[in-house]
């Protein structure tokens, strides 16, 4: 049985883990990211993601959850001083029992399953990691089969995105691609023809009046600038979410959530 390393100082190994939390380039080069939280770690294991290292706190007895997960996951372990775990866990008040270093999956669109009435979300150039995680959580909740992030965008594997997804990152494929072209080429080659529907506050039609029951690629734009011209041109329809009150618009993740709910509502009534 391999020896379990013990990390008690801010050595090179600890600094590498710390870099994975705050540096996107380091995550890409290493091909891994740090996962915090009971539910996200549990779902990473449940859905078969490659756990490269489980970081285990030396701060005392582990809970039943932590003991069972370390015993059943089969992942290599490292015993880490509680004060260092607190730094990696982002909590000043207490150290987490476990953290996981997880391998990044490939950005292949083939990871997204193809289904007859599929609903796939595109997030065009999102600037905020938390919005990616929030929209991913909604996509998972309302029956989408994948989330595609296009263009120059925030990182879905940023800790803020992973936390906001509450583990849905591990249940639903997330794929990053450079532009709309790769998405449209991939969708056009599928056996299931898909409509492309964009969301915009100035869209000509209310979303409730548009049929979302068929195979749909739902495009949500950047938080500040909305959909790019290229995505607008690619859309078969652009729909709006009617709002009232003093608000001028909805947050991008909130708008995507409403659109996903409407698609799920229509599909349930069909």
pLDDT in tens, 157-190: 999 999 999 999 999 999 999 999 999 999 999 9
Range of the domain at 35: 6-103
Backbone angles phi, psi at 133, to 5 degrees: -65, -40
Give yes or no: residues 97 and 226 share one domain.
no
Mean pLDDT of all residues in 59-67: 88
User: How far apart (Å, rounded) are the C-alpha atoms in residues 149 and 263?
Assistant: 20
pLDDT at 121 over 70: yes
Domain holding 175: CATH number?
3.40.1280.10
Pairing mode of beta strands 146-150, 119-124: parallel
pLDDT at 57 over 80: yes
Contact yes or no for 214/195 (Cβ under 8 A): yes
How many domains is the chain partitioned into structurally? 2
Q: Residue 117 falls within a domain, yes or no? A: yes
User: How far apart (Å, rounded) are the C-alpha atoms in residues 118 and 135?
Assistant: 17
Q: Residue 58 falls within a domain, yes or no? A: yes
Domain holding 86: CATH number?
3.30.1330.30
**pLDDT tens readout for residues 206-220:** 999 999 999 999 999
Cα 49 to the center of its chain, rounded Å: 14
Give yes or no: residues 243 and 120 share one domain.
yes
Q: Residue 120 falls within a domain, yes or no? A: yes
**pLDDT tens readout for residues 224-247:** 888 999 999 999 999 988 877 756
Give yes or no: residues 114 and 77 share one domain.
no
Give yes or no: residues 136 and 258 share one domain.
yes
pLDDT at 1 over 50: no
Q: Residue 262 falls within a domain, yes or no? A: yes
């Amino acid at each position: 049985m391999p020896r379990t390393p013990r990390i008690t100082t801010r050595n090179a190994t600890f600094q590498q883990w710390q870099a994975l939390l705050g540096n996107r380039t380091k995550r890409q080069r290493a091909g891994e990211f740090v996962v915090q939280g009971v539910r996200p770690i549990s779902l990473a294991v449940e859905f078969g993601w490659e756990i490269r290292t489980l970081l285990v706190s030396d701060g005392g007895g582990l809970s039943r959850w932590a003991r069972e997960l370390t015993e059943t996951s089969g992942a290599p372990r490292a015993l880490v001083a509680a004060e260092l775990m607190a730094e990696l866990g982002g909590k000043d008040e207490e150290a987490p029992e476990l953290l996981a270093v997880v391998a990044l999956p490939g950005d292949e669109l083939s990871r997204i399953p193809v289904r007859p009435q599929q609903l796939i979300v595109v997030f065009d150039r999102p600037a905020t990691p938390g919005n990616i995680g929030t929209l991913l959580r909604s996509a998972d909740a309302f029956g989408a089969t994948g989330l595609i992030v296009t263009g120059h965008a925030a990182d879905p594997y940023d800790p803020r995105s992973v936390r906001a997804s509450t583990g849905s990152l591990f249940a639903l494929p997330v794929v990053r691609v450079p532009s709309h072209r790769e998405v449209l080429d991939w969708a056009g080659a599928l056996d299931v023809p898909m409509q492309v529907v964009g969301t915009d506050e100035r869209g000509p039609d209310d979303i409730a009046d548009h049929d979302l029951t068929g195979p749909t690629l739902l495009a949500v734009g950047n938080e500040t600038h909305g959909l790019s011209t290229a995505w607008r041109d690619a859309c078969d329809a652009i729909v709006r979410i009617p709002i009232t009150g003093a608000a001028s618009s909805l947050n991008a993740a909130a708008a995507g959530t409403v659109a996903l709910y409407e698609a799920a509502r229509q599909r349930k009534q069909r």
